A and B are shown apart, each in its own frame.
Chain A
Amino acid sequence: MLDVRLTLDHCVKCNICTTACPVAAVTPLFPGPKYVGPQAERFRLELEPMIAPEGPEAPSPDHSIDYCSGCGICSQVCPQGVKIAEINTRARAAYVGGQLPLRNQLIARPDLLGTLGTPFAPLANATLSSQPLRGVVESVLGIHAEAPLPPFAGRTFQQWASRHRRVRNAVRSVAYFHGCSTNYYEPGLGALTVQVLEHNGCRVIVPRGQTCCGLPLQSNGDFPAARAAAQRLVNTLLPYAEAGFDIVATSTSCGLMLKREYIEILGLDAPEFKIVSEHMWDICEYLWHLHEQGELQTDFRPVPLTMPYHAPCQQKGHGIGKPALDLFGLIPGLRVAEMTSACCGIAGTYGLKKEKYQIAMDVGAPLFAEIRATGPDVAACDSETCRWQITHGSGVRTVHPIEVLAAAYGIVDL
């Protein structure tokens, strides 16, 4: 954490980050990442919440930081290596000071929501799709009535995994970190992931008792809870890392937490975090890596679709290029258009919030238009919240790249 703050020294005030910020582009409520990051940081007392001399009751000055969506694009375009997004995330935690409003506490705990909602899936889903009830939820909790909340699947991925018979004659073993979204909302994606990996000679282990990676807690500024979640998850995954297994994730945002953000943003530097990080792979990264070793099955059927691909902001943050594009290049007949618009706007839980929903939709508008303009059959995107937002904003069904591969392998029809 201290290292992150030190990078503010690299800032030469060029404002390149501000020109790339998708939120600053659509609202004057956010003065830009340079302002709330390396600039304001010089006015903050490190490690302490900003308490004015008027006393702790006086508000922290950092109002603007709340509008940072945490997309991370600023850090990706900075020519000097300022860890702007990381500074901003830390600053938000200081600003929040552990006092999350109820709404944020709820939406920052998708595993809790998932656990509560899954047994009552039909009722919960009815609520989610009922306009009047969503109106009530908006006024009571502050979750926008039109925000793209996914329906509960009713049966979790863990349940599927516990019934799934593992293959024999596998060439290697790999552990699968599925994350909350796959578990509670998209167990089918998890099943396809397992099948695609098995098709490629992997024995897939789904560690039991996986919990939330803590990203929404971190994004909403509750660092103590985020650290606790991180510790729990890493404890679950550590034995597999120590046994030498690679661990794959289908959510690029959650994967990035395990790869980097636990250490860089939450400041968790105990050895287990480093060990798990070193074994973490994004699923497309992993499959392309197999291909580079000559070990990927390339028995692809043609998939004659027009498919725009959006690399989520957090996928770019992995620094691995775009392995999904590389994989798509192997599939005959697939017409892929790489989208150039930067961000879909959802930024995890950001676009769910009443006061930020429209900002998120404005951020995503160029992407939605770009996707529609390709005349797509289906769109692809590695992050679940982005998929839901893109579908919501563009009307185009959006799938994970794994689903495209599964279709090419003949495992499923797209």
Chain B
Amino acid sequence: MSAGYDLIVIGAGYAGLMAALTAQQSGRKTLLIAKGNGGTHLKTGCIDVLGYHAGRRVDHALRTVSELISERPGHPYAATGAEALGAALLAFKQAMDRAGYPFEGDGIINLLLPSALGVPRPTALAPRTMIAGDLRRPTPIVVVGFDNFKDFHPALIADNLTAAGHPARAVTLTAPGFEDEADLPPMTLARAFDNAPFRAAFTAVLGPQLRPGERVALPAVLGLNAALEALADLEARLGVPVFEIPTLPPSIPGIRLFNAFDRLLRAAGARVQIGHPVVGFKTDGLRVTAVTGQSAARPKDWACDAVVLATGGVASGGITVDSHRVARETVFGLPVVAAAQPPETVNGMSAPAAYFERPGPSLPGLAVDAALRPLDHSGTAAYLNLYAAGTLLTGAEPWREKSGEGISLASGWRTGQC
């Protein structure tokens, strides 16, 4: 009779999506409820597991994660465990294959892909649309950009790649059919690449400018709904490998990834409700019995047997810090592991050191037990059926060590099992 769910996942980033899919596919009636879109749309669209550790670039990601876990028991990977990470990556790849948006990489040895500044950047899994850019191959690169697309600078990328030992040159075109538009939005360009006539016009201009033995780098706008088709078509027409490089948000590859998860979730029978902020909850003793959404006229309860909190932490208000520097977790009021206070003065530290090496933890987050349940003030699970996943977990600097998606998928996968 009740419309209650077996599991409610709060938050639609990598962790929430993975938790919801894992749960729904194992037969649990799942609701994914979120304030809005997030993580997927703002990052590279790749899956980072661990890119940098102890000041050095990581090649063997999974092995280094194990080292990391033993060195830093407070790191989110210590909470999820390396095994869950491996299983999550496998489950992710299988899901994306089914969704028609396959990822490459084995999750064990890192790929090396160029950033939009031409910096070789390690990552574990990448969509097929990016894989031809692996810098462990020696093929010279021609970086192609559009003078009316401002979020990509081919000449700079090419120069920096060359300086890093990866020969590259640049070509800048005007996007065909958009000659009158000086400020082309990324979605418009991505939708254009979905269309065969545009691709034909584009390759007709680019083709004659290619040199033998090159591979072509484009900004990550290689189609929105038909990216694989676009990739295959371009490679066929140009006769060379083609790949895209993730650039400033909004991330087209991330949007594709979100859409893929959305398709899978719906096909499996899950409910997805974006635009539904969660502001509270109901309990029965130490069990959460419902989450409360902020609907238009009055709060609405959604009954559930368990909850995964994947609200992303500070980035989008899952944790807030007010002007008195007090941090709060905004749904359940869970105790927050505070960030280190900024120094009283701004003297003494040179800018680069201060910027890259910050006193940790640099962001407030939640501490969890072995089952990934957030802790209360006494250090035990706050609620028996409440779990936390993703960027909400304290103990990592994912932007620096390049670990965000791995943490999210591993913790999402594990909490989706509970």
Taking Cβ atoms with an 8 Å cutoff, the residues of A that contact B are 10, 14-16, 18-20, 24-25, 28, 32, 75-81, 256, 259-260, 277-278, 280-281, 288, 291-292, 294, 316-322, 326, 338, 340
Instruction: State which of B105-113, B291-299, B392-400 sits at the interface with chain A.
Output: B291-299
A-B contact pairs, 30 of them (CB 8 A): A10-B317, A16-B36, A16-B37, A16-B41, A16-B42, A16-B249, A19-B41, A19-B186, A20-B37, A25-B187, A25-B188, A28-B188, A75-B275, A77-B36, A79-B35, A259-B296, A278-B297, A278-B298, A280-B297, A292-B1, A292-B2, A294-B1, A318-B296, A319-B275, A319-B277, A320-B295, A320-B296, A321-B276, A321-B300, A322-B271
In the complex, which residues 302-322 of chain B have their Cβ closer than 8 Å to any Cβ of chain A?
302, 312, 315-317
Of residues A14, A28, A81, A318, which shows the largest number of chain B Cβ atoms within 10 Å of its Cβ? A14
Do A19 and B266 have beta carbons less than 8 Å apart? no
B154 within 8 A of A: no
Complex CA–CA separation, A326 to B187 (angstroms) = 33
B214 within 8 A of A: no
Question: Which A residues lie within 8 Å of B390 (CB)?
Answer: none
CB distance from A78 to the nearest CB of B (A): 5
Do B274 and A80 have beta carbons less than 8 Å apart? no
Complex CA–CA separation, A292 to B38 (angstroms) = 32
16 more A-B residue pairs beyond the given contacts A20-B37, A340-B262, with a C-beta to C-beta distance below 8 A: A14-B42, A14-B250, A19-B186, A19-B250, A24-B185, A76-B36, A76-B274, A79-B317, A80-B316, A80-B317, A278-B297, A291-B3, A319-B277, A319-B293, A319-B300, A322-B273
Q: Given A320-B295, A320-B300, A338-B266, does the pair A19, B187 have CB atoms closer than 8 Å?
A: yes
Q: Given A16-B41, A19-B250, does the pair A260, B296 have CB atoms closer than 8 Å?
A: yes
CB distance from B388 to the nearest CB of A (A): 18
Complex CA–CA separation, A79 to B277 (angstroms) = 9
CB distance from B113 to the nearest CB of A (A): 22
Do B37 and A321 have beta carbons less than 8 Å apart? no
Complex CA–CA separation, A288 to B4 (angstroms) = 12
Complex CA–CA separation, A115 to B295 (angstroms) = 34
Complex CA–CA separation, A316 to B35 (angstroms) = 12
CB distance from B275 to the nearest CB of A (A): 3
Complex CA–CA separation, A216 to B384 (angstroms) = 49
Do A19 and B36 have beta carbons less than 8 Å apart? no
Question: Which A residues lie within 8 Å of B2 (CB)?
Answer: 292
B95 within 8 A of A: no
Complex CA–CA separation, A224 to B297 (angstroms) = 23
Question: Which A residues lie within 8 Å of B296 (CB)?
Answer: 256, 259-260, 317-320
Q: Could you say which of A14, A28, A79, A259 contacts B297, with CB atoms under 8 Å apart?
A: A259
Complex CA–CA separation, A278 to B295 (angstroms) = 11
Complex CA–CA separation, A259 to B263 (angstroms) = 31
Question: Which A residues lie within 8 Å of B186 (CB)?
Answer: 19
Q: List the B residue with the shortest CB-CB distance to A321.
A: B273
Complex CA–CA separation, A309 to B372 (angstroms) = 38
B255 within 8 A of A: yes
B97 within 8 A of A: no
Q: List the A residue with the shortest CB-CB distance to B181.
A: A28
B53 within 8 A of A: no
In the complex, which residues 1-31 of chain B have their Cβ closer than 8 Å to any Cβ of chain A?
1-3
Q: Could you say which of A278, A288, A340 contacts B3, with CB atoms under 8 Å apart?
A: A288
Of residues A24, A25, A319, A338, which shows the largest number of chain B Cβ atoms within 10 Å of its Cβ? A319
Of residues A28, A317, A338, which shows the largest number of chain B Cβ atoms within 10 Å of its Cβ? A28
Question: Which A residues lie within 8 Å of B317 (CB)?
Answer: 10, 79-81
Complex CA–CA separation, A321 to B277 (angstroms) = 12
Question: Which A residues lie within 8 Å of B121 (CB)?
Answer: none
B57 within 8 A of A: no
Q: How many contacting A-B pairs (Cβ < 8 A)?
A: 101
Question: Which B residues lie within 8 Å of A322 (CB)?
Answer: 271, 273
B282 within 8 A of A: no
Complex CA–CA separation, A318 to B123 (angstroms) = 40
B128 within 8 A of A: no
B191 within 8 A of A: yes
Complex CA–CA separation, A113 to B41 (angstroms) = 44
Question: Which A residues lie within 8 Å of B185 (CB)?
Answer: 18, 24, 32
Question: Which B residues lie within 8 Å of A14 (CB)?
Answer: 41-42, 249-250
Question: Which A residues lie within 8 Å of B274 (CB)?
Answer: 76-77
Complex CA–CA separation, A307 to B57 (angstroms) = 54
Interface size class of B (residues with CB under 8 A): 35 or more
Complex CA–CA separation, A281 to B250 (angstroms) = 36
CB distance from A335 to the nearest CB of B (A): 14
Q: List the B residue with the shortest CB-CB distance to A318.
A: B296
Do B3 and A78 have beta carbons less than 8 Å apart? no
Complex CA–CA separation, A278 to B191 (angstroms) = 42
Question: Which B residues lie within 8 Å of A338 (CB)?
Answer: 266
Do A76 and B297 have beta carbons less than 8 Å apart? no
Complex CA–CA separation, A278 to B42 (angstroms) = 37
Do B187 and A18 have beta carbons less than 8 Å apart? yes
Do B187 and A80 have beta carbons less than 8 Å apart? no
Complex CA–CA separation, A280 to B273 (angstroms) = 21
Complex CA–CA separation, A16 to B36 (angstroms) = 9
Q: Could you say which of B1, B38, B266 contacts A79, with CB atoms under 8 Å apart?
A: B38
Do B191 and A25 have beta carbons less than 8 Å apart? yes
Q: Given A80-B316, A278-B298, does the pair A24, B1 have CB atoms closer than 8 Å?
A: no
Do B271 and A321 have beta carbons less than 8 Å apart? yes
Do B297 and A81 have beta carbons less than 8 Å apart? no
CB distance from B187 to the nearest CB of A (A): 5
Question: Which A residues lie within 8 Å of B262 (CB)?
Answer: 340
Complex CA–CA separation, A159 to B83 (angstroms) = 69
Do A316 and B300 have beta carbons less than 8 Å apart? no
Complex CA–CA separation, A291 to B4 (angstroms) = 12
Question: Which A residues lie within 8 Å of B298 (CB)?
Answer: 278
Complex CA–CA separation, A76 to B274 (angstroms) = 7
Question: Which B residues lie within 8 Å of A81 (CB)?
Answer: 35-36, 277, 317
Question: Which B residues lie within 8 Å of A256 (CB)?
Answer: 296
Complex CA–CA separation, A29 to B341 (angstroms) = 46
Complex CA–CA separation, A89 to B78 (angstroms) = 48
CB distance from A130 to the nearest CB of B (A): 38
Do A79 and B36 have beta carbons less than 8 Å apart? yes
CB distance from A236 to the nearest CB of B (A): 18
Question: Which B residues lie within 8 Å of A294 (CB)?
Answer: 1
Complex CA–CA separation, A14 to B151 (angstroms) = 13
Complex CA–CA separation, A288 to B38 (angstroms) = 30
Do B41 and A292 have beta carbons less than 8 Å apart? no
Q: Given A16-B41, A19-B187, A319-B294, does the pair A79, B255 have CB atoms closer than 8 Å?
A: no
Binary contact readout B103-129 vs A (1 if CB under 8 angstroms, 0 otherwise): 000000000000000000000000000
